Amino acid sequence: MYNFVSMKIEQYISQLLYRHQCVTVPGFGAFLTEIQSAHLHESTNSFYPPKKVISFNSHLKNNDGLLANHIAQIEKTDYETSVAAIESEVIIWNSILQVNERFTLKNIGELYLNAEKNIVFTPSENINYLKESFGLNSFVSPAVKREAYKEVIEYIQKEEPAALESTPTETIAFVPTETAHEVRTTRPYLKYAAIFILALTATGSIGFKLFQDHVQTQTLIVEEQVQKQVQSKIQEATFMIESPMPSVTLTVKEEKLPYHIVAGAFRDEENAEKVFTDLLANGFKARRIAPNRHGLFPVLYGSFATKAGAKQALEEIHKINPDAWLMTREL
């Protein structure tokens, strides 16, 4: 069983990288993912979709249970057998590194030793672990040639307005009868202008009186509305309790919940918060706990007082998330 399982450990790591940001191989190191946005390579006019970039950290070696639980579920075996299979595979990997100084994990990348005997990792470019980019491939687009338009600015000279000729002032004087008759004949509009001015003066005094009456009427209306509002406020009854009842303080004994179902541990706190919010929306009593010693943010489906209750809930959760696992800890 060990050889059968160990030959497919890299396949199980590849499966987990689609759903998790950190996949730890106990005793060897951890493969981490980080989302890289879509980008353009200007020199080659190449467009690349968003992807998960894989890196390797040889210092994260502690068993977080994720890989061993996944192998146990797929292979229909127990957790201890999966852990033993991983340990056997790690011994083989270290031996290959000491002899050949490099080896390749399919669809993950190549590991080799540098001059200081430290493990260096080069990720594979053959696969994109970002599920949202499924079906998106890189492509090259020819450069777009744009026609340059010459801007022509037309200047329009603004002419100065012609100076208004000054109207000569008319001088009224006593003239002979014939001359006065001639003035009345040639300039009849002066008579109508005088009539218009007199009419405007009379109308203005009447209009001002009407305006004053309108303002006074509107003022009375507003005052009546204000009085109605004041009376309404006065009629509202206000009740005051002079001797309130004393407050009662209840003390509830907090129930210990040492069994927890883990949905995942995330390197990015925003992703942890998103999963936490989704679980709450789906009716789970989800929780977020403090980051672990690896700097990952765990998210729980819920916590239970008994191990039997936790296992029963885990069986139901495995129907929707086979990677969930049981953790026992006093929080």
CA distances from 90 to 13, 18, 294 (A): 13, 22, 20
Decide if 140 contacts 46 (C-beta within 8 A). yes
pLDDT, one tens digit per residue, over 1-31 is 444 444 478 999 999 999 899 999 999 999 9
DSSP state of 163: P
**Nearest alpha carbon to residue 317 among 32, 61, 69:** 69
**Residue 125 corresponds to which amino acid?**
E
* Model confidence pLDDT, tens digit, residues 228-282: 775 666 555 444 445 555 655 655 566 788 899 999 989 899 999 999 999 999 9
Q: Tell whether the model's pLDDT for residue 107 goes beyond 60.
A: yes
Query: pTM for this structure?
Result: 0.43
DSSP category for residue 135: T
Q: Which whole number is the average pLDDT over 302-306?
A: 92
* CATH architecture, domain defined by 259-328: 2-Layer Sandwich (3.30)
**What ranges do the domains of the chain cover?**
2-137, 259-328
Residue 97 Cα distances to 84, 88, 106, 125, 185, angstroms: 20, 15, 16, 22, 124
* Residue closest to 129 by CA, chosen among 30, 50, 28, 24: 50
Strand partners, 204: none
For the stretch 172-216, pLDDT in tens is 444 444 444 444 444 555 555 555 555 555 555 555 566 566 666
With beta carbons less than 8 A apart as the criterion, state whether 71 and 5 touch: yes
Count of C-beta atoms within a 10 Å radius of residue 263: 24
CA 137 – CA 129 distance, rounded (Å): 13
In the prediction, which pLDDT does 4 show?
Answer: 43
Q: Which residues contact 70 (CB under 8 A, 6 or more apart)?
A: 12, 15, 16, 322, 323
Please give the structure tokens belonging to residue 277: 């919010």
